[in-house]
A and B are shown apart, each in its own frame.
Chain A
Amino acid sequence: MGDALNLFLPLDSVAVALGADDVASALRDEAAKRKLDVTITRTGSRGMHWLEPLLEVESDGVRFGYGPVDIGDVGALLDAVAANVRHPKALGSVQDIPFFKHQTRIIFERCGIIDPVSTDQYLSHGGGAGLDKALRMSGAEICEEVLASGVRGRGGAGFPAGIKWKTVAETRADQKYIVANADEGDSGTFADRMIMEGDPFLLIEGMTIAGVAVGATKGYIYLRSEYPVAARILAQAIDRAYSAGLIGENIRGSGERFDIELFVGAGAYICGEETSLLESLEGKRGEVRAKPPLPAVEGLFGKPTLVHNVITLCSIPHILAEGAASYRDLGVGKSTGTMPFQIAGNVKHGGLYETAFGLPLRALVEEIGGGARTGRPVRAVQIGGPLGAYLPPSLFHLQMDYETMLANGAGVGHGGIVVFDEDVDLLEQARYAFEFCAEESCGKCTPCRVGSVRGVEVMDRIRDDIDREQNLTVLDDLCELMVDGSLCAMGGMTPIPVKSALKHFPEDFAINRGKSDAE
């Protein structure tokens, strides 16, 4: 018998939720029956979620895909591989699948390829190069490189990261902190989860570079509790990073120190807001703080704290390794680098697509996403989570970058695109925006806490044709008040989905609405 057959199967939550663990046991059983020697490496996901569980079989250094694999397929599939004949689920070389091939993967370059908790594989696949370079630079030089790259916060606000770094670096304090915001609560987004499950050392490396740059010796990953798989993998990765000297008291022999701790939240969307997150990390209710002071000056326990979204931190190692100029060459205008767009909802080819900024929305929804899974026409997309705008197909020509989206009343947010077919009722979606705000408001600001409840009532009256015109006026006032009178984006941006729905889909708010109400 020849060498062991090298198989790769994701351990990513989506793959597991579609049966990957069952497929893994079936593979072991069926291989044993056939006396086939197999090695199964559990990897992250390639991001082609309609093909999950996606099994890969290595042959002459090329990984051939099969998917979506059902446990019933496993026996015949192994037979086909052994006999070198084509199986109906064969997809060819995985990296040549068009969805994968046309991406620019600088954040997700290893995701789906390596064992996520192997430091050896991480280092042998290009990991650690950014950190090694940073360790030879001064803190100020690293901050300058980040600033020059133009990378902006990927959590939603899009603030230039380098400015935050400089602020923290220049603020004097006996202790500073790095906090990775992994409270990825926006519906339609899963890039943080995927990278944490598929290449957690990248986040660890990004945080460590940040620590070295700004003079912080302690980092926290604030992870939402709805991500149990990510929690397990991160905990294991942190342990192994210590053992391998990637973090700890003498990082890669440099004499620099950086420690990382994982903190799991307790179910609160608002804790994705940075000041609320810091309160929560201090063990308190996650109530939003007034700014200023900025967390960069007075953050965790009153100390200067660099809070960044996971994807922002994961962009850093590449910037250091390849230089700011090569990063800035990707993207358009002030939207530099790549964004892992997440294509979700009612869509044929759902998944993660990392590309430089500048693709038109239509390409992501229709060409890459393949349109609605139901096969019906796409009627709307919501971009950037529950606080993002609803846009109609007439705006799908818009380019996906921070400035273009902003100019059209929308935002890139965390890069999530939720697709809806013609069945969607935008009044119902606008009502839900208020309902979600009422559920998740931290309660500190009255316009958010009470306004959201009033918003649901107003929507109900408009739907039921009660004093329609007056209620539309109330709705306008309410939105204005929430925007002007809320400390954070929860209250301040809930009007965005509401008003965009009203603006682009007025027929759903009109008398004799086109559809029958689902009551």
Chain B
Amino acid sequence: MPPGDQEIRSIIEPYLNKTGGLITALRAVQEAIGHLPEETDAIAADIFNLSRAEVMGVISFYADFHRAPKGRTVIRLCAAEACQAAGGRGLQEQVEGRLALKMGETAPSGNITLETVYCLGLCSAAPAAMVGERLLARADVERVADALNDADGNAARG
């Protein structure tokens, strides 16, 4: 069932008087629903006394916010310099090949989204990856695949 306007409103309202409340409110909506549906803009604009354009401007500015649902498990591969130095580009190609997905794509099944991240702060044990909530350092394609299996298992049980 799609989320109702009332649900979105009730998620956003508590953040009205918080510092930087709009960003935190948008994150809360996204955590509850999985993405930011179009209706969010008008509701947030109304609550924060902003124009819809201002809300859309914030949503489009930050990489964490997304309009469409992502896969059940998101795989993030670091593309920054320290990981490049330690084989990150090769890892990306291998993961793309294994999953038959390109960076930025979601599998048609809706199970997996593959995306780029710029630095997880694991640069001393590069390359780094994040599979769902799980951090991986000195990542290779096998460890990414294993973590994906675990995440799938957890999702199926959950």
A contact residues vs B (CB 8 Å cutoff): 13-14, 16-18, 49-50, 52, 184-190, 193, 220, 225-229, 261, 263-269, 280-287, 342-347, 350-352, 373, 382, 386, 416, 418-421, 424, 429, 432, 436, 439-440, 442, 518
Contacts and interface: CB of A to CB of B under 8 A. Distances in A.
B38 interface: no
B135 A17 contact: yes
A287 B20 CA distance: 14
A187 B80 contact: yes
- Kindly name the residue among B22, B65, B122 whose own CB sees the greatest number of chain A CB atoms within 10 A: B122
B82 A418 contact: yes
B115 to A, nearest CB: 11
Interface string B33-60: 0000000000000001000001001100
B111 interface: no
B24 A263 contact: yes
B99 interface: no
Contacts of B20: 263, 280-283
B121 A193 contact: yes
Contacts of A220: 19
Contacts of B24: 263-264, 283
B75 interface: no
- Kindly name the residue among A263, A283, A347 whose own CB sees the greatest number of chain B CB atoms within 10 A: A283
A16 B136 CA distance: 8
Contacts, number: 153
B128 interface: yes
A439 B61 CA distance: 11
Nearest to A194: B121
Given A187-B80, A283-B20, A49 B125 contact: yes
B123 A190 contact: yes
A45 to B, nearest CB: 10
Interface string B2-24: 00000000000000000111111
B145 interface: no
Interface string B54-90: 1001100111110000000000001011111111010
- Kindly name the residue among A220, A261, A284, A416 whose own CB sees the greatest number of chain B CB atoms within 10 A: A284
A454 to B, nearest CB: 21
B86 A17 contact: no
Contacts of B122: 13-14, 17, 190
16 contacts: A16-B135, A17-B135, A187-B78, A189-B121, A190-B122, A267-B63, A283-B19, A284-B22, A285-B58, A285-B61, A345-B123, A418-B82, A418-B123, A436-B118, A442-B61, A518-B89
Interface string B86-127: 110100000000000000000000000000011111111110
Contacts of B85: 344-346, 418-421, 424
A263 B123 contact: no
Contact of B19 (A50, A193, A263, A347): A263
A429 B61 contact: no
